[in-house]
Copies of this chain bind each other. A is one copy, B any other.
Amino acid sequence: MSNPAAPAIPPFQPPRRALMGPGPSDVPERILAAMARPTIGHLDPAFTDMMEQVKTLLRYAFQTGNKLTFPVSGPGSVGMETCFVNLVEPGDQVIVCVNGVFGGRMVENVRRCGGVPIVVESAWGRAVDVDQVATAFAATPDAKILAFVHAETSTGAQSDAAALAEVARRHGALTIMDCVTSLAGTPVLVDAWGIDAAYSGSQKCLSCTPGLSPVTFSEAAIDKVRARGTPVQSWFMDLNLVLGYWSGEGKRTYHHTAPINPLYGLHEALVMLAEEGIENAWARHRAMHEALKDGLEKLGLEFIVPAAERLPQLNSVALPADIDDAAARARLLAEFNLEIGAGLGALAGGIWRIGLMGASARPENVDVCLKALAGVMGSRE
């Protein structure tokens, strides 16, 4: 086989889009500029000081005092897997709530850790049914963990995390919560709700580039990791090892080379969140949702999630029967530079997911989106 010669490929110049899908969201110039600052070493004291700030800022975002709060060096799926490989031991029964794609991914994670998933299914587009979870615990008294998705990115439904965690606590189980799409967009109250492990993503309501996954663990979760009888199956995600670098206690030991510039971006995003105030960020997402909802309803689009269970930052609407999904989204992109999301899994082809996350939750984006949709839908005969 002959080896390839040097390809003649020019630098990449991306178009400028309005990002209103399920993430990534629009990344503000301040964050992009932060990512372009000079790279320094992952053990440089200036960098490790910044790491400590990121941990402090993440505790604010998660509303927690958990010492073990840091960004995993990978996308949200790595944050998810980090929670499962550390907390689930072979044979552990784990009650997993499934009301969309990401609950299904949790089931797959439990299986690959050698755990036994007990699946509680709720309808896609609805919140998780808390009573069913209580019934599952009654039938499985030895279940060690309850896992659920707070904000289902595949449907736009929000579940009652406080009530779910309360059921788990009554049965002596730990909780793993996916808050990839909720963090900084709607209240995520890790301590008030009593969540033991939570993971999120950088590219949703934090408005950063994708690739980092903020996580937080309670003392009870750390105790379970420390008491394991079997090693964590992943070297990279083993919290016992990661902690040598991120804990900030004693000598900081090398584990892997942290993604320096993306962490500059996350730091800036979190500084911006603290400047705005997290309650104000929640209110902004809510207000933009109200404006978008009015416009979508005027266009005749119907939400698939009941009002009380809707995520303001992710608006799923049924696709009108006479609209060609792929063709319409291609026009939105080509003619309006607007990205919205398609359906996933069972909802593929049936819905659109319109995100109002982070910097995308602003009046200009609502206007752009409603005008573009009117343009595409008005010319559909």
Contact = CB atoms under 8 A, between A and B. Distances in A.
Interface of A: 1-17, 19, 21, 23-24, 26-27, 30, 32-42, 44-47, 50, 53, 56-57, 59-60, 63-65, 73-78, 81, 105, 108-109, 111-113, 189, 191-192, 201, 203, 209-211, 231-236, 254-262, 264-265, 267-268, 270-271, 274-275, 277-278, 333, 339, 344
A124 to B, nearest CB: 16
A318 B229 CA distance: 41
A279 to B, nearest CB: 9
A345 to B, nearest CB: 10
Contacts of A344: 254
A148 B1 CA distance: 23
A259 B231 CA distance: 29
The DSSP consensus for interface residues of chain A is loop
Contacts of A76: 256-257
What 5 A-B pairs have minimum CB-CB distances, sorted nearest first?
Answer: A211-B259, A36-B36, A209-B261, A210-B257, A6-B274
Given A4-B59, A78-B78, 13 more contacts: A3-B65, A3-B191, A4-B64, A7-B274, A19-B41, A32-B37, A44-B339, A45-B333, A75-B258, A75-B259, A112-B231, A234-B234, A254-B344
A41 B344 CA distance: 15
Nearest to A257: B210
B209 A4 contact: no
Nearest to A207: B39
Nearest to A53: B9
A256 to B, nearest CB: 4
A77 B235 contact: yes
B210 A211 contact: no
Contacts of A64: 1, 3-4
Given A6-B277, A236-B74, A261-B209, A46 B15 contact: yes
Contacts of A73: 74-75, 78, 211
17 contacts: A4-B64, A6-B275, A6-B278, A12-B50, A12-B268, A15-B40, A17-B41, A19-B39, A19-B40, A36-B36, A39-B203, A111-B231, A112-B233, A203-B260, A209-B259, A233-B233, A262-B262
Nearest to A59: B4
A13 B37 contact: yes
B191 A1 contact: yes
A40 B17 contact: yes
Given A63-B4, A77-B256, A210 B42 contact: yes
Given A7-B56, A33-B36, A65-B4, A264 B74 contact: no
Contacts of A8: 274
A261 B207 CA distance: 13
B257 A14 contact: no
A32 B23 CA distance: 23
Contacts of A254: 344
For A5, A27, A76, the residue with the greatest tally of chain B CB atoms inside 10 Å of its CB is A27
B12 A53 contact: yes
Given A14-B38, A75-B257, A211-B259, A271 B4 contact: no
Contact of A41 (B5, B24, B191, B211): B24
A24 B36 contact: no
Contacts of A211: 73, 211, 258-262
Contacts of A45: 333
Given A35-B36, A211-B211, A5 B258 contact: no
Contact of A112 (B15, B39, B235, B275): B235
